[in-house]
């Protein structure tokens, strides 16, 4: 295995030639758990007899603002290098209507960045791992979800019945009864507990939240503790568990790593939250320099975007509890056999996409 270098690999990609002749958008839809239809948009850049694909996850459902419903006029046609195309994207407003969330702009930019990377590589007749000189390896993944309202272990049991051996990242809530914590822990199948404490949500009952942390820290002694709340009492509880604390929501750039309190070692590297290929490679490089554990994360991708983040995880951190389970795991009632972990990365012969 070739180790991830501590210097950014962006120079290996920056000068790739890129020809864009047209751009198109296609909706993707899937019925997810909780009777919710998830909608994303496939981005297709076309040029020099081939195409490059990306996926926009910035809008959860069709509300008139999704990329395929309200496409902006961007003027992406032309002859570029990947670096000049990325620099141009940074100057554009990618939304017709300003998004509700600031991070949505990064999600949408990632769709175009990943499509451009795919197209440039396909035009060059090369695969991403070949250009980076890093070999993808079998990918360990987890299935991520919450336990519902009222909270119940049944979702965990259903998935274990369909895919024995699957492992989980579970969203924790202060309303969990103590017995539920013990039930979930008894499965021995949880790698990460996500507190979702960095989204600016109001804490209704601080005492109940502290009780939850105490129970979770004790019941899951080896699990990552992701996005803990920024409260002095919680920082105190986590003081002896720094190596298990991980951040997701606060990490948009390499400069964000290590800047959040309480201190953490691990990073959930979420390409769509970072937004650009260049910055993503800076994040990988900083984590490698500092010996920080990394694992991957997604945003409910339904198509090519899921395969792309699976491929990145297979290249940069294949043995971690990557929150990049195949999209079928998030469907309400998936058809057929669910793929097991580790997942064969199966990169396409050229481009930035899986080959299946």
H/E segment holding residue 226: strand 224-226
Q: Which of 313, 347, 278, 311 is nearest to 127 (CA)?
A: 347
List for the chain the helix, strand, coil content (%; round to 5).
35, 20, 45
Same domain, 119 and 146: no
The pLDDT value recorded for residue 34 is 65
pLDDT digits 0-9 by tens, 65-120: 999 999 999 999 999 999 999 999 999 999 999 998 889 999 999 999 999 999 99
DSSP state, 139? Answer: B
Pairing of strands 50-56, 36-47: antiparallel
In 3D space, the residue among 323, 314, 322, 305 whose CA is nearest the CA of residue 345 turns out to be 314
pLDDT (0 to 100) of residue 328: 87
Short-list 147, 231, 228, 230, CA closest to 190: 147
Residue 317 lies in a domain: yes
CA 28 – CA 44 distance, rounded (Å): 13
Helix H segments across the chain?
11-14, 82-89, 104-124, 128-132, 154-162, 178-186, 206-219, 232-237, 271-274, 277-290, 304-316
The predicted structure's pLDDT at residue 202: 78
Task: Using alpha carbons, select from 114, 131, 172, 143 the residue that is nearest to residue 309.
Answer: 114
Helix, strand, or coil here: 29? strand
Q: Are residues 76 and 146 in the same domain?
A: no
Instruction: State which of 99, 130, 161 marks the end of a domain.
Output: 130
Residues 236 and 114 in one domain: no
Q: Which of 98, 130, 162 is the last residue of a domain?
A: 130
The parts of the chain modelled with pLDDT lower than 70 are: 1, 33-34, 332
- C-alpha span between 340 and 338 (Å, rounded): 6
Tokens representing 127 are: 């695969």
Look at residues 313, 275, 281 and name the one whose alpha carbon lies nearest to residue 297.
Answer: 313
Q: What is the pLDDT of residue 280?
A: 98
Number of domains in the chain: 2
Tens-digit pLDDT profile for residues 32-65: 766 788 999 999 999 999 999 999 999 989 999 9
Global confidence as pTM? 0.96
State both tokens at 344: 């064969």
Residues 200 and 321 in one domain: yes
Beta bridge pairs of residue 29: 39
Domain of residue 33 covers: 11-130
Q: Are residues 146 and 17 in the same domain?
A: no
Domain-embedded: residue 226: yes
Which residue do the tokens 């600016």 mark?
200
């Amino acid at each position: 295995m070739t180790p991830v270098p501590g210097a950014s690999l962006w120079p290996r990609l920056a000068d790739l030639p890129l020809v864009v002749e047209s751009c198109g958008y296609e909706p993707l839809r899937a019925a997810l758990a909780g009777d919710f239809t998830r909608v994303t948009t496939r981005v297709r850049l076309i040029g020099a007899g081939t195409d490059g694909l990306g996926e926009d996850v910035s809008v959860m459902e069709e509300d008139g603002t999704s990329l395929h419903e309200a496409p902006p006029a961007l003027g992406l046609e032309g002859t570029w290098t990947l670096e000049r195309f990325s620099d141009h994207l940074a100057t554009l407003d990618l939304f017709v209507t300003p998004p509700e969330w600031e991070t949505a702009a990064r999600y949408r930019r990632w769709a175009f960045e990943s499509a451009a990377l795919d197209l440039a590589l396909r035009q060059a007749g090369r695969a991403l791992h070949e250009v980076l000189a890093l070999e993808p390896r079998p990918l360990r993944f987890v299935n991520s979800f919450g336990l519902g309202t009222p909270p119940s272990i049944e979702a965990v049991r259903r998935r274990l019945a369909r895919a024995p051996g699957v492992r989980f990242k579970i969203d924790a809530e202060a309303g969990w009864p103590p017995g539920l914590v013990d039930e979930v822990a008894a499965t021995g199948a949880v790698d990460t507990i996500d507190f979702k404490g960095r989204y600016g949500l109001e804490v209704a009952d601080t005492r109940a939240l502290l009780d939850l942390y105490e129970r979770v820290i004790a019941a899951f002694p080896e699990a990552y503790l992701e996005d803990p709340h920024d409260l002095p009492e919680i920082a105190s509880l986590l003081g002896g568990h720094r190596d298990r604390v991980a951040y997701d929501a606060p990490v948009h750039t390499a400069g964000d790593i290590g800047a959040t309190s309480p201190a953490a070692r691990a990073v959930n590297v979420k390409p769509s939250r970072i937004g650009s290929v260049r910055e993503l490679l800076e994040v990988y490089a900083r984590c490698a320099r500092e010996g920080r554990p990394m694992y991957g994360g997604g945003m409910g991708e339904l198509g090519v975007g899921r395969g792309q983040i699976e491929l990145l995880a297979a290249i940069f951190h294949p043995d971690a509890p990557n929150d990049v389970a195949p999209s079928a795991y998030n469907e309400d009632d998936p058809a057929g056999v669910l793929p097991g972990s580790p997942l064969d990365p199966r990169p396409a012969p050229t481009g930035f996409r899986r080959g299946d």
